Structure 1
Amino acid sequence: MPVDRMLANLDLNLLVTLDALLRERNVTRTAEALGVSQPAVSAALARLRRHFGDPLLARTGNRYELTPLAAQLLALTGPALAGVRRVFDVTPDFDPSTMEREFTVITSDYAATVLGPLIARRLAEASPGVRLRLQQTTPYTVDHAADTLRTADGLLLPHGFLTDIPFVDLYEDRWVCIVSRDNDAVGAELTLELLAELPWVVLYNLRTAFAPAAQQLRLLGIEPRVEVVADGFLPMPFLVAGTRRVALLQARLAGRLAEPAGVRVLKCPFDVVPLAEAFWWHPIYSNDPAHVWLRGVLAEAGRELAVASSRSEDFAGIDPIG
C-alpha cells in the first residue's frame, strides 16, 4: 500500500532527530544531546525540511522558534517514539531479570512516599536493569490524562477523577484531620463547627483538582476557610504546625509525618469515603508484556502496603483500615 512504501523510504533515525530538534530548537544542542556531529544534525534537518515542505525552525533574532507545523509535530513525536520503543522492546520470551527499561509513573508526593519505596524495592530485586521514574502529577496531567498516558507508563491516582481508562486497584487509605500539637482550640475530637471556624490548608483548590474528602465536606454545606494552598501533600503538616490551621491528609502519610511535623492526627467528624488508590494506563500498553509485568509488581506492592495497615507508625492511633 502507498503508506507502507512511504514508511519503507523513511529513516527512523530522522524521528529521533526531529524530536530532539523540536525540543532543543538548536542544532548544536541537538547534536550534543544525541551524541552525533553538528553536520549530521544539519543534514538531517535539511532532509526533514524537504520531507515536510516547511522550515520547522524559524530564526527570530538570535534564536530559533518552532513554526506552526513544528509545534503540531512536537505533540506527536514523543508518543511516536514511545510506540516505536514498545515495538522493539517485545521479545519472544519475556524475562524481567534481563530487561533494560525505564518505567515512568506519574504520581502524587503522597503515593510516591507510601507506595514508591515498595515498588522500587520489588523492581530492583526482580529486574536490576530497570529504572523507575516517579514524576510529580499536576492538575494538567489529570485533566488531560488521555494524552498524558501516551508518553508515561501510568498514573497513580484515586478513583473519582478518571473514566474509561484501564486501571488496577492497589490499596485503600483513610482521610484524617491534622491540627497543630499546640492548638488548644481543638480538644480530643473535632466537630463540624470547628471545621467551619478554623483556617485551612488545602490541596490545589481548583475546580478539577482537590482532595476528595474536602469536596465531601463542601457537600455538607461547610466551605473551608482557605488560608494556605499547597501543590502537594508533604508540606501540609508543616504548614499546619504552630498555627490554628487544620488540613485533611491520608492516614498513612499523616502517621509518618505527625511526629516530625508536630501535629496531632484526629478522626474526621463526618463520614468520609475512603481513598481508593489505583494505577491507570493507556490502552496501548494493555498487551505489552513488560507493562503487564509492571502492573503485577504494583499490585503486589499495594497488597504489601495493605497488610502493613495495622502498624501503628502508619496510622498514629487512627483505627487501621481493614
Structure 2
Amino acid sequence: MFVMVVIHAVDSGVPVNLSSLDLNLVVALRALLEERNVTRAGRRIGVTQSAMSATLARLRRHFDDPLLSRTGSQYELTPLGAVLRDRAATACDVLERVFTSQADFDPRTDAREFTLMSSDYGAAVFGVALARELHDVAPGVHVTFRQTTPTVLDNLGTVLSTVDGLLLPHGVIDGFPAVELFTDQWVCLVAADHPVVGDDLTLDDRARLPWAVYQRAYDAPVTRQLSMLGISPRVDVSVPSFHLLPLLVAGTRRVALAQQRLVELFPTPGVRTLPCPFPAVPVQEAMWWHPVHTQDAGHIWLREVAGRIGRRSGVR
C-alpha cells in the first residue's frame, strides 16, 4: 500500500497498480539514490553493474526523470531524485516490517529488533527500564532508540509506520493509538548562584531572563502554555538534548524548564530546581504506534511490556 502512495505522490496523480509493479525496483531505487553511483549501488544489493544500469534506465522511464545527473566526475540527485531518496528508504522500511511480521511470538526464544523514536528524556526515564526488562525476559530481543527531530511531526504517519513506537507526551501528538507510560512534572532550573533569582522564580523573571530550551522554543506544551500567559521565551541557546539544559544553566543568568524525573536521575552541581511560577500542565508520556502494527504478535507483546513498565512508574 505504501509503495502506491509514494508513486502516486510524484506522478501527477496517476495511481499505480501494485500487481504490475516489481517491488525489487524500490530496493534498487533506494540504493541508487543513496549511493549516487551505479557500481556501488549494484554491489550493495548484489547485482552486476550492467544489471543496475538497466534498472536505472527502467526507473528513469517510469518517473520520466534522470534521477541522477552527472556534474563533473560526480552524480547529483535531481530535485525529484532528492524527494524519492527519503521516500524509497521509508518504503523499504515499511516493506521489511510487513514481511517480518509474525503470527506468534515467544520472547524467551525469538530474536527481533524493536525500534523506538524518543527524546533523550524518554530514553532515560522509560527506555532504561524497558531495556532492563528485555534483558531479563527476552534475551534474543534487541531495542534501538532513535533521536526525535524537530520535523518528526511534519510527516507523522510515515514516521510511525517505520518504527515500532514514538515516545512523546500528550499535547504534542494525537490521532494514533498509544500505550500510557507515566506522568511527570515540569520544574524550573536556575544557577545556584543566580544573581537575580532568589528562593522563587516569578513570571516576570521568566519573561526577562534568557532561556536555554530543548530544540525549538515551542516544542514543549508547557512553553506554549506560557505563551498563552503572554510570555515569549527569549531564547539564548537551544540544544537537541534535555540532558544538556542543566549544564547550560549552571553559572549563567539563563533559566530552563525540565522534567522532574530527569533532573532527579541526573543531578547537576551548581543548579537549583524551583517550582514553576504557574500551574504547568503535567507531562503525560505515552508510546504512540501505527495501526499497521495492531495484529503483529511481537508488537502486541512489546505494548504489554511497555504498559506494565508504565504502571510501575506511576504518577509523579
If the TM-score is normalised by the length of the shorter chain, which range does it land in?
A: 0.7 to 0.9
Contact 1:86/1:288 (8 A) holds in 2: no
Find 2:244's aligned residue among 212, 225, 235: 235
Distance, in Å, in 1 between the alignment partners of 2:196 and 2:308 is 42
The within-5 A match list for 1:207-246 is 209-246=218-255
Q: C-alpha deviations, 1:268-319, integer Å up to 9, x for none?
A: 121111010111122222222222222222222323333xx7xxxxxxxxxx
Shift of 1:173: 0.6
Shift of 1:61: 2.1
The within-5 A match list for 1:107-186 is 107-186=118-197
**1:302 paired residue number:** 310
Name whichever of 65-74 and 215-224 sits farther off: 65-74
Shift of 1:261: 4.2
The within-5 A match list for 1:1-322 is 3=17, 6-7=20-21, 10=22, 12-34=23-45, 37-46=48-57, 48-49=59-60, 55-67=66-78, 70-206=81-217, 209-258=218-267, 260-306=268-314, 321=316
Pair 1:280–1:271, CA change in 2 (3 A): same
TM-score normalized with structure 1 length: 0.81
Contact 1:150/1:282 (8 A) holds in 2: yes
SS for the counterpart of 1:164 is: coil
Shift of 1:137: 0.9
Shift of 1:223: 3.0
In structure 2, the gaps of 5 or more residues are: 1-15
Structure 2 counterpart of 1:202, which letter?
Answer: V
Q: C-alpha deviations, 1:159-205, integer Å up to 9, x for none?
A: 11222222221110100011111225333332333333432222334
Distance, in Å, in 2 between the alignment partners of 1:280 and 1:125 is 24
**1:313 paired residue number:** none
Distance, in Å, in 1 between the alignment partners of 2:211 and 2:83 is 42
RMSD: 2.7
Q: C-alpha deviations, 1:70-126, integer Å up to 9, x for none?
A: 445434433432333233223343223343333221111111122121122223333
Pair 1:91–1:156, CA change in 2 (3 A): closer
Name whichever of 146-155 and 235-244 sits farther off: 146-155
TM-score normalized with structure 2 length: 0.83
Structure 2 counterpart of 1:104, which letter?
Answer: T
Pair 1:202–1:49, CA change in 2 (3 A): closer
Shift of 1:211: 2.2
Distance, in Å, in 2 between the alignment partners of 1:218 and 1:228 is 18
Identical-residue share of aligned pairs (%): 50
Structure 1 counterpart of 2:228, which letter?
Answer: L
Contact 1:202/1:230 (8 A) holds in 2: yes
Distance, in Å, in 1 between the alignment partners of 2:41 and 2:164 is 26
In structure 1, the gaps of 5 or more residues are: 310-320
Q: C-alpha deviations, 1:128-187, integer Å up to 9, x for none?
A: 333322111112112321222222222111111222222221110100011111225333
Pair 1:58–1:198, CA change in 2 (3 A): closer
Q: C-alpha deviations, 1:192-230, integer Å up to 9, x for none?
A: 333334322223345xx4222222222223333332223
SS for the counterpart of 1:291 is: helix
Shift of 1:235: 1.0
Distance, in Å, in 1 between the alignment partners of 2:152 and 2:256 is 24
Pair 1:34–1:244, CA change in 2 (3 A): same
Shift of 1:247: 0.9
Query: How many equivalent residue pairs?
Result: 301
Pair 1:172–1:53, CA change in 2 (3 A): same
Structure 1 counterpart of 2:199, which letter?
Answer: A
Structure 2 counterpart of 1:187, which letter?
Answer: G
Distance, in Å, in 2 between the alignment partners of 1:253 and 1:290 is 29
Contact 2:172/2:221 (8 A) holds in 1: no
